[in-house]
Every structure is written in structure tokens, then in C-alpha cells.
Amino acid sequence: MMKYTILFLASFILFSCKTDPKKVDDNSEKTEEVIVPENKDKNIEILFDETAFSDAKIPGLLKELNICKEEQKNLNNASDPACDPKFFHFETYADGVALENAFIVVIRAGVHDWPVRRTLVYTRENGNLVLVNTFVGNLVGKKNSPSGKSDLVMQFFDEYENRLECIYKWKEGRYQYNAVSRIEGSKIRKELQDSMNVEIYKVLKDNKLDY
């Protein structure tokens, strides 16, 4: 029923000039004021094709998180993954804060037998890493924010494969949902933004995509 609700609403709220969504293969894989992603400062495309991590601190952080195995040499074993950029991608999110104290980890689809990408947000408190957000979705953009914590543009697929692009803002020590900005690649009419924000937030919670 939710599939038809979203598609029915979308037929009314999306601009008539709808962009053709680019197919995402997720095995390489299967990617205050409302802010929409037209203004995002950084588009992020994660291909998991790097041969080395972008920062020398990342292997140590993976070891601290205990989400991979240093001794694993088989890069085809996603169920029990090696600590390798084929499986994990790191991004910063806090201005002026060292990577080891505030970072985002995007985990490739298939890792730990999850069928889709996951995005985890960590901060360090009293010397320990604390998980503050878990998204069953993909990070596709970041935007500068007066808070010093980048706004995140997250992409989700619901149970019917509707592609939802949402904005998250830092509030009260974690990222919180702010707005839906696109459905199936198309923008939402301004006059219906508020009602769709509520509808899509319910979809995210019902599908356990944001917790």
C-alpha cells in the first residue's frame, strides 16, 4: 500500500520536468529552513575502487571499530571483510575536528551480508568512539552548515525501490531528519514540501532506514 501512496503523491508533487534517474548497481553498487541539494557543496560518488585509504589513520580506526579483520586477505569475502577500501569509505563531517574524532563510514553492499549500503556516523566522547547515527542508505552529498557540522544528503530505497533523497542536519548531538528533497530524482513543489516531509519520514521509520 505504501508503494501506491508514494507514487500517487509523487504524481502531484513532482515538477513536470522529471529527470531520468540513473540506475545504481549496488554490487559495485546497488548509490528551521528546508535545504534542497541543489546547493550542496560536495557531491559524493563512492565507487569502492580505491587501492589505498585516503588517510593513514583509517586502518587504526577500523581496528578500533572492530568491523573488519586485519588478517583477512581474501578481498572477495564481503561477509567477513578485510580492512580494505574495497569495503569501507571514510568522510569527515565536522569543521576543524580531526578525522579520528568525528567521521562517517560508508559500508559497501554485501559487507556482513547486508544487501545494501550502510552509513554510520561516529563521534569521540571521553576518548571512546560513539555511534550516533545508523543509516541503511548511501551518502551522496554534504553541505556546509553554520553549525560546523556538514548537512548530509542521504539516499534511501524503500521496500518498493522508490529512491528517496533526504537532508539531515546536526541537532542535539546527532544527525536528525530535516526534509525530503527528491523522489526518484525529481524535485518537490514548494507548497507541498511540508506534507511530504512528514510522509517520507514515516516511510524511513517504517522501513527502519534511519535509526
Burial of 143 (0-12, 13-18, 19+ CB in 10 A): middle
The CA–CA distances, whole Å, from 23 to 7, 26, 30, 141, 157 equal 18, 9, 9, 17, 12
pLDDT tens digits, 37-83: 444 478 999 999 999 999 999 999 999 999 999 999 999 999 999 99
Amino acid letter, residue 39: N
CA 148 centroid distance within chain: 19
Q: What is the reported pTM?
A: 0.83
Amino acid letter, residue 181: S
Distance (Å, rounded) from C-alpha 69 to C-alpha 81?
6
pLDDT tens digits, 85-138: 999 999 999 999 999 999 999 999 999 999 999 999 999 999 999 999 999 999
